[in-house]
Structure 1
Amino acid sequence: MKRIFFFGMAIGLLVASLPTWAQKDMRRLIKNNEAFAAAQYKMLMKNVPADKMPRYYDPAKDQLQVSGVDWWTSGFYPGTLWLIYKATGDRELLAAAREKLAIEEPMKYYTGNHDIGFMIFCSFGTAYAITGDPQYKQVVLTAAETATKRYRPGMHAIQSWNKSRQFNAPVIIDNMMNLELLEWAAKNGGSKRLAEIAENHANTTLKNHFRPDGSSYHVVDYDTATGRVLKRVTHQGYADESAWARGQAWALYGFTMMYRFTKKPEYLAQAHKVARFILKNPNLPADKIPYWDFNAPDIPNAPRDVSAAAVTASALLELAQYSNKTQQASYTSDAATMLRSLSTTYRSKPGGSKGFILTQSVGHLPAHSEVNVSLTYADYYFMEALERYKKWVLK
């Protein structure tokens, strides 16, 4: 998870020197996307039952799939409503955002897996950042304490999924995103132990999840007592040794975010290494929207993953804040290319996709689930990336 709002930036971007025409072009693009998002989500609001959250839209079936609040993506929809409200001031979206927070709040006690961070920080954390409402802050603090119940001291990590026939104590790269809940809470009234757990988890991930080229496995399975690695696999990617695109995006975002909170140089170094893997990869298309797996055998005909691009763009814009001038320019330029591509080729038609903003994301291709669909988290990180570009890059 993220947050453009939860920290102050002292470092200015080199790209403040962007040509005036380029700044105007991006300002128009962002404003257009904000208005488009508001119109789309007013439509989506009408399609979602009061007690449910949208999950994805499948264009092949013209079908909107919804979920209960206990599904891992439930926090993204209210979070996106808050981001669009912040951008536009539309009170109709504000009312809808508040209504969805009311049904999401019980998830502050959720212990079924690691995803309480996505559920609560992307919804209540975003709401608190915009409103300063102390009730929202308390929900975040409660959720952070709940998240620690999955911490396994012998592993020095938070167990992502429960034990199954496939895994003993799996930790997935996605879990890096949920450390923001802990780090933020530790600095905003919560126990210092929250940050210690987050950093232990990040250190364990840094040690065991990455290959020499900077790419990440999806899952590392552990012995809970000793912390011994039992196996490394890429559950949602093409093969165990392949680089699942969204997994690389989670890694980039997660270690950039951890550097923000800790200023530990090893986290920043890893973020740069992952960024190089993504941006210099020979299989990254010219429009910077990755295939669902960097090693998919059917490239260039493999599905793209717009959600991976949205997460990556947002992460690059933050990483640029901690970089030298050359890196700043490169990261910002690549993020801008992604945002332009997402705003054109991969954006829904007005009134389309049942109200989602973006198209062509991939959830879990090996399971034939959510392939070439609109996903809530793609929309969320796209709106976050637009906000970050506007805040940090444009004059």
Structure 2
Amino acid sequence: MDERRTQQREAARERQRIRRQRLREEERQSIRDRNRQRMQQKRRNMSQDERELHLDHLRNRDHVRRNNMNMEERQQFLENMRNRDHVRRNNMNQQERQNHLENERNRVQRHRNAHNMERQIYYIGAMDVQCQFCRALRFQREQLNCCHNGKVMLPPLQDYPENLRLLFDANNAEGANFRQNISNYNSAFAFASFGANIRPPPGRGPYCFGLEGQTYHYASNLHANDPEERRYGQLYIIETNKAIHNRVNAPENANCLVSVFQKINEALINNPYAAAYHNMRDIEQQDQERAAIENVSPRKVTMHFIPGPDRRTYNNPSGNEIAAIFVGDDGAPPVHRDIIVYPIGQQRERIAYISCHLDPMVYPLLFPNGELGWHIQIVHVAQRQTRVRTKVTMQEFYSYRLAIRDGFSALHRAGKLLQQYIVELM
């Protein structure tokens, strides 16, 4: 039945097309004038409600038609509209042009008035309802799965470095520059690269982080092939002034301040990943000195990051706890290793998205004390474990981490960097 109706409509359109071609231009113009007068008379006789219904019908019809167009049809439609308006304006006399301009001014004014109207404010209340298990805050009617009714209980993040904390609150040039360029500062001090096809949404408005495709992260070798192109962990084994010089002179950090770099560098002195790179460098130097004395070739030094260390005791991880350093054949490297850092010349190691080292290595400003991300050895609270599942899932872990609680939280104060962190989790 639908196919038959379609065929009938197509046949009717074809008959109309043939009939129009036979008409002379004067007859076509006469028909257009009669139709225009008929529609004007019809609109004048409409009530306000009928006029609104008619306009809604036209808008919906045009909306459906535009949605069904492909790109080429849409471009042709816009071009026809421009040409039609151009011809219509050229054919107007002085009075018609004045009326047209007046109607346009009235339309723009109505549009502005609609936006300037006082809008009704809906107040959902204060965020002051606390979870009885993990003390996460929520609104009165909000359904928040922060700790899954007490099944997940993670240790709080360690105290945030005071000099970094002041940058979030400082009402001066340093504080404003830090908050505005926090993603650049984080990337400058990261231990691993952040690679993605970043595509912010078009148009004006507040900052919004967006990307297409997958993200990928690589841990760098201990040394760069070119000393002037040191990046990531390679900057933690050289002198502080040289490291800051490299970071400041990077093209992407043109808007960053040296004083802010110095404060961040001071705050990350005790970072366990910085300590791990220092340990690897010290061991490499010791082996090179030994080789020079014994007149032999230096042995190969590698650093293996350990996947999911034992976190049943939630102390701050140290450099020795997150990574093991192996020299030549001195001991067997672990069969299950997460990331390997080589001295130089090797292909960079890609970090898996399920690695517990991903968060602290890519986001040192969010986790300056090296708190590990999710790993499979985190278990549910013993009293609330079930037979089906005893381990904390990745979703449960990050639901707990992202919940808002009393006290200072660099995670929720990070602005642009928080958006990047959440988008990468999704």
Higher relative contact order (CA 8 A, sep 6+): 1
Structure 1 length normalisation: TM-score?
A: 0.21
Structure 2 length normalisation: TM-score?
A: 0.20
